[in-house]
Amino acid sequence: MIKRSLKVIAEIVSAQNDITPFADVSVQGVTIDSRKIAAGNLFVPLIGEHVDGHKYVEESIRKGAAAAFWQKDVPNPPQDLPIIIVDNCLTALQELARQYRKELPIRVVGITGSNGKTTAKDMTASLLSLKYKVQKTEGNFNNHIGLPLTVLGLSEDTEIAVLEMGMSGRGEIEFLTKLACPDAVVITNIGESHLLDLGSREAIAEAKLEILQGLKEGGLAVLHGDEPLLMERIHRYKGNVEVQTFGRNETNDLYPTSITQLQQGSRFKINASDKEFELPVLGTHNIMNALATMLIARYFSIPFEEMNEGLKGIKLTNMRMELVEGRHGEKIINDAYNASPTSVMAAIELVANLQGYDRRILVLGDMLELGPQEEQYHIQVGERLNSDKIDLVFTYGLLGKHIAKGAASVLGEERVFAFTDKQSLIKALEPHLSENTLVLVKASRGMRLEEIVKALQK
């Protein structure tokens, strides 16, 4: 983590006050959460929709913070305390991270995409850890606040940082990539997430490709080669980058030559090696994520023949294709962290093709931020179900009702149940659960469907 004197930090963020009495105070690490103060931290009080962090500045210093920022338009800064007054606390946080990144002798991998970026981040970190000291974005610290905090948390002896970059609109990934200055980047795919903000998949592709604007000269861009929206645009790109592609098609630099779906993962072979690889993560779509990360690992001089060890040790962030057992012995795929039509259909394909189950049940909730055609997207998910492979569908939420409508046209109304109350859904679902039942639970994060998973485990 960052370790600098208050004098140095004050110079970086253009302090508006005289900090001479505290110039030699040493800062170690940065936090925006007064509840998580560690000794020596710099506390950055952000002004949110409901909470103003300035209320906790004095308390944070009493708890052990070495110093704090203070935004100049907030009245009554505390006297005789190690305070740095700045124009804007968020901007100062970002500038501090930008300068710290410049000073670090570190290489960076930037990862974005509509779906799979967190999984790809976890996989990349695991593979690179075979040879390097690696740090990665923790949780979902992937935005204009989280990424600077992640950078400021990097150890000076870290060799490679794997940084996830999220967005909700144009310009956000450009900001993040120019702060991180990656040596290599990955775009996992282009889906429907953020259609509400951006309006079209074409606009989403343009926004994701902003990640190239911070990529170092001659750096590596790993792209989903089966996505025309990416390939059309990369061919028109004027910058000096090396492009490598992954996907199912044989036109890609890396593609699978065989895939075997296992009960708790996959086994696959690739065109570039005779070795068979094992991935302890469910879903064929996650093999695509693995291919992207394997190209990154090879770029950093890790041969394919050594990658199995890294793949076997992957630890995914919670609620992403997480296989758990319910109290009736049923197997539950907890994929409740996020959802889009693309990711939902990929998860349903997995459930439909997993062997060894007598009954397959879908519990699906609203997919959010899909824009004006959101109802039609939900209906289409239901209409695409295979009635021979999916036994029952339970939906939750107002938009979930449209999934139920589409599903009923394929499965019949007697096999589809729509709810707007979780407890009612759970009560209706339980009689259908047994040891040989597989249940998929998936929706956008705002629907909190992990509550259903937890209820089924008690």
| CATH number reported for the structural domain that contains residue 260 in this entry | 3.40.1190.10
Residues 429, 394 contacting (CB under 8 angstroms):
yes
pLDDT tens, position by position, 267-286: 999 999 999 999 988 888 89
Amino acid at 326: G
Give the relative orientation of helices 374-383 and 341-353 as an angle to the nearest 10 degrees: 10
Output Rg (C-alpha) for the chain, integer angstroms.
24
- Say what the pLDDT of residue 318 is: 67
Asked if the structure places residue 317 within a domain, the reply is: no
**DSSP class per residue in 386-422:** -TTT--EEEEESTTHHHHHHHHHHHH-GGGEEEES-H
- Asked, for residue 231, whether it belongs to a domain, the answer is yes
| Stated length of the chain | 458
Instruction: Please indicate, yes or no, whether residues 163 and 287 belong to a single structural domain of this protein.
Output: yes
Q: CA angle, corner 140, sides to 382 and 155, nearest 5? A: 155
User: Which residues in the chain show pLDDT less than 50?
Assistant: none
Last residue of a domain, one of 312, 339, 374: 312
Does residue 143 lie in a domain region? yes
The Cα angle at residue 139 between residues 135 and 140, in degrees rounded to 5: 110
Burial 427-445 (b: 16+ CB within 10 A, else e): eebeebbeeebbbbbbbbe
**Structural domain of 181:** 104-312
Domain shared by 308 and 329, yes or no: no
Instruction: Find out whether 111 and 120 touch, Cβ atoms under 8 Å.
Output: yes
Asked whether residue 280 is domain-assigned, the answer is: yes
pTM of the model: 0.82
Whether 189 and 239 share a structural domain? yes
Among 38, 9, 14, which Cα is nearest to 26's? 9
Confirm whether 144 is domain-assigned: yes
Decide the pairing of beta strands 322-325 and 3-5.
Answer: unpaired
- Same structural domain for residues 177 and 203? yes
369 in Cβ contact with 195 (< 8 Å): yes
What local confidence, expressed as pLDDT, does residue 152 receive? Answer: 97
Q: Tell me the per-residue pLDDT of 428-448, one tens digit each, with 9 for 90 and over.
A: 999 999 999 999 999 998 999
CATH number for the domain that contains residue 395: 3.90.190.20
pLDDT at 194: 64
Based on the structure, what is the number of domains in the chain? 3
Planar angle of CA 32, 78, 45, nearest 5 degrees = 15
226 and 145: one domain? yes
Helical pair 117-128 and 284-299, crossing angle rounded to 10 deg: 40
User: Max Cα separation, the chain?
Assistant: 75
Reference 65, options 28, 112, 95; nearest CA is: 28
* pLDDT value at residue 140: 76
Same domain, residue pair 23 and 78: yes
* Whether residues 288 and 337 fall in one domain: no
- Asked whether residue 99 is assigned to any structural domain, the reply reads no
54 & 135 share domain: no
What pLDDT sits at residue 404? 97
